[in-house]
Amino acid sequence: MRPLLATTAVLLLAPQVAAGIFPAGLPSATTAPWGAWLVQIVDQDFVSAGTHSLAIDDSGQKHVFYARFQPTELIHATDDGSQWNEQVVATAGIPAGMVTGPGGLVHLLQKDLPYLVYHRLNGDTHNVEVVDNRGVDRRDIAVDTAGGVHLAYNLPSDLLVYAYRAPAGGWMLQTIASDAANEVEIAVGGDGTVHIVYVPSSFLDARYVFRDVSGTWTNEEIPGCVSFLDIALDSEGTANVVCWYYDGVYFNRRLATDSWERTRIEGSARNGYDAALAIDSDDKPHVAYSMQLGPSGDDLVNHPRPKYASPGLDGWFVESLDHDGMFNGLRPSIQVDSHDRPHVLYAYSYRAKTIDAVLDQDDLLNPHSQLRLATPVASVLGAVEN
């Protein structure tokens, strides 16, 4: 167990407004953005490689899934308001995704090559199943209102696989595309529709794969979207996608005409790395992403950091969550709670990644990194609305 607020930092940050024209009907904030964020250190012996996931269940409890260094442990942690309660779910591989579902169940994915492993946690009961053994690469997980589990992942051969597990058990695997090279994300609608986005092996614009209630799959292009994708559905089941393009980070919404509306959240190719998306009960998008190093390395003004964006009346409000350190904001994960307040999980490394090709050939940062959770100060003080 680790104290929940052992180390905190209150950041009073002036938000920026990124001008832009919103797609018609996009919900807009009528008040200022959050402005102040409380940063908690979840773990100080965190492995920066792989995925770290945040989920908030129906009771409002936060769940975090991540890997710890020396010895390697895959940790599922929950907070009880005063401390993190930890459970070791595996001692090999990397965390590959997490969602919470009906009945208080927690669903985890573990990548342990060549295996993709599924974990289901229900109180003290822990069930483990192998989903695929063909060297799964990128992957994502979702759960429907009935408790069915849905996966999307790609294989080394670039096959895109959709997997479904009924609440009663048993996996069904279906290959739905042959060009999925990277960046696989999935969302499931309340009516059972399945929505998947991925980057094709051509590395042209991203693809959107949709299965309607009749079971028919449709595969189409998302113009102006090339990397760092995430997808979330609004209350009408409409697909919303955030992504990186060469001139910034973008929000995209699919229209009834089967076309896409697109607006830029923030310019510069440095913005939008590892973009993550959540949609609240008012259908307002909440976006988290990382700002990365420029070609000249780091400086005190432009060092990498986690960012949060939400729509306002005149453009997207963009807030920096954390200015600490030289390499910050790696792979953010974002969720909103029952009061539509955003919570962002991300990694902070003790040293910057250099631009030396020899030193960085293994793509490792300092393996001892901090896992941090940013929450609006207003939520800590009990305010319900932004």
**Least confident among 20-29, 180-189, 290-299:** 20-29
Share of the chain above pLDDT 90, in %: 63
pLDDT score of 49 more than 90: no
Residue 199: φ, ψ to 5°:
-95, 125
- The first and second tokens of residue 57, run together, are 């269940």
Cβ neighbours for 109, distance < 8 A, ≥ 6 positions apart: 95, 96, 97, 98, 116, 117, 118, 119, 139, 141, 151
The pTM score is 0.88
Between 12-16, 163-167, 195-199, 201-205, the lowest mean confidence (pLDDT) is in: 12-16
Higher pLDDT, 335 or 386: 335
**Residue-averaged pLDDT of the chain:** 84
| DSSP codes joined into one string, 216-228 | -EEEEE-TT--EE
pLDDT in tens, 222-240: 999 999 999 999 999 999 9
pLDDT in the model for residue 365: 45
Rg (CA), the chain: 20
Does the structure show a pLDDT above 80 at 367?
no
Of residues 131, 137, 85, the one with CA closest to residue 108: 131
Q: Are 163 and 172 in contact (CB under 8 A)?
A: yes
Query: In CATH, what is the architecture of 2-380?
Result: 6 Propeller (2.120)
Tokens 């986690």 correspond to what residue?
306
